[in-house]
Amino acid sequence: MLTQSQIEEMRNLLENGLRELREEAGRLEEQRLRLSAPEVEYEERSRKDTGQLALEEQERLARDREKEMDDALLRIGAGTYGTCLACGRDISMQRLRAVPWTLHCRDCAAAEEGGPGPAESVEEPLRPAPILPYRFQGMDDAALAAAAQDELHGDGRVETVELSLRVENGQVLLGGVLPSDRQHALLLSLLEDDLGLQVVVDEVRVDRTAFERRDRAPGRAERPPRPEEVMIEGEVEPEDPYRSVREGAETSPADRMVPEKEEK
């Protein structure tokens, strides 16, 4: 049975979740208005139609989740929250924190869904896929990650040599190393504020010493060789006769005698 402090914890978690859902509903409505604007070009109309379908699905999921959270708050008020609807056993706090609107314990949920048994399942917070900005809609995770990286490279203010950026379920996961806290803050601002993406994992480390070596310092990449320094494939490096004198290295004889310069 849940303690009073655990019940209050779950009540706060559900109320915060509802508040976030309602804020998201406002953003969805703004996006709906943008998608409803008429377009002349066929490709633009087709793209908006695709975005409209995705938006409707997201709105449906949000309504379903809102009802589940409201029902969970009602169960808290009735004193039945945290009890499995199928077997009557207590639902673990680990599962409640991960899925606060759940009606079933882990074992019963796995049996009902035909999923893995309790020893194989892992409780993780469920994160619904976010609504992407219009410019990124229709992209899969790989394309979205590539687009975000292109934007960072084009901006040029964040050192991306040691940065790791990937996307899962439309959400950004960051890792790697940056040379300063300022670049770290700028990275988050570019991704979240400018591009409108959602960063759910930020494991970027700030390590100034990693960029102090000349070859890794921002803007200090190794100079590419000049054309005259690049040998053509199959070309033999010319021998240095002075090196043979200094180091005793063998050298091939000349093809012909070089006459001495005549004295005047």
Read off the CATH number of the domain in which 147 is found.
3.30.1340
In a domain, 162, yes or no: yes
Quote the percentage of the chain above a pLDDT of 70: 63
Shared domain check, 19 and 69:
yes
Considering the domain architecture, whether residues 97 and 178 belong to the same structural domain is answered as no
Q: Which of 74-88, 97-111, 128-142, 226-240 has the highest mean pLDDT?
A: 74-88
192 pLDDT band, cuts 50/70/90, is confident
For residue 128, the model assigns a pLDDT of: 55
Q: Is residue 146 part of a domain?
A: yes
List the domain range (segments joined by +) for residue 101: 4-113
Most confidently predicted of 52-56, 150-154, 237-241: 150-154
Shared domain check, 139 and 109: no
Q: Report the alpha-carbon distance of residue 259 to residue 75 in Å, rounded.
A: 107
Return d(Cα 81, Cα 46) in angstroms, integer. Answer: 46
Q: Assess if residue 142 is contained within a domain.
A: yes
On whether both 101 and 142 belong to a single domain, the answer is no
242, part of any domain: no
- Say if residue 91 is in the same domain as residue 21: yes
Distance (Å, rounded) from C-alpha 54 to C-alpha 48? 10
Give domain status of residue 196, yes or no: yes
Separation of CA 252 from chain center = 59
CATH of the domain at 19: 1.20.120.910
Residue 161's φ and ψ, nearest 5 degrees, are -60, -40
Residues 65, 11 within the same domain: yes
User: How many domains does the structure of the chain reveal?
Assistant: 2
Residue 78 — very low, low, confident or very high, per pLDDT cuts 50/70/90?
very high
For the cut 60, the answer to whether the pLDDT of residue 120 exceeds it is no
- Residue 126, pLDDT > 80, answer no
Q: Which of 26-40, 55-69, 171-185 has the highest mean pLDDT?
A: 171-185
Q: How confident is residue 124, by pLDDT bands cut at 50, 70 and 90?
A: very low
Residue 136 confidence (pLDDT): 76
Report residue 178: phi and psi, to 5°: -125, 155
Task: Identify whether residues 181 and 90 lie together within a single domain.
Answer: no
Residues 91, 8 within the same domain? yes
Residue 251 within a domain? no
How many residues would you count in the chain?
264
- 92 and 138 in a single domain? The answer is no
* Residue 120 placed within a domain: no
Whether residue 94 is found in the same domain as residue 166 = no
Q: What is the mean pLDDT of residues 233-260?
A: 57
- 109 part of a folded domain: yes
Q: What is the pLDDT of the chain when averaged over all its residues?
A: 75
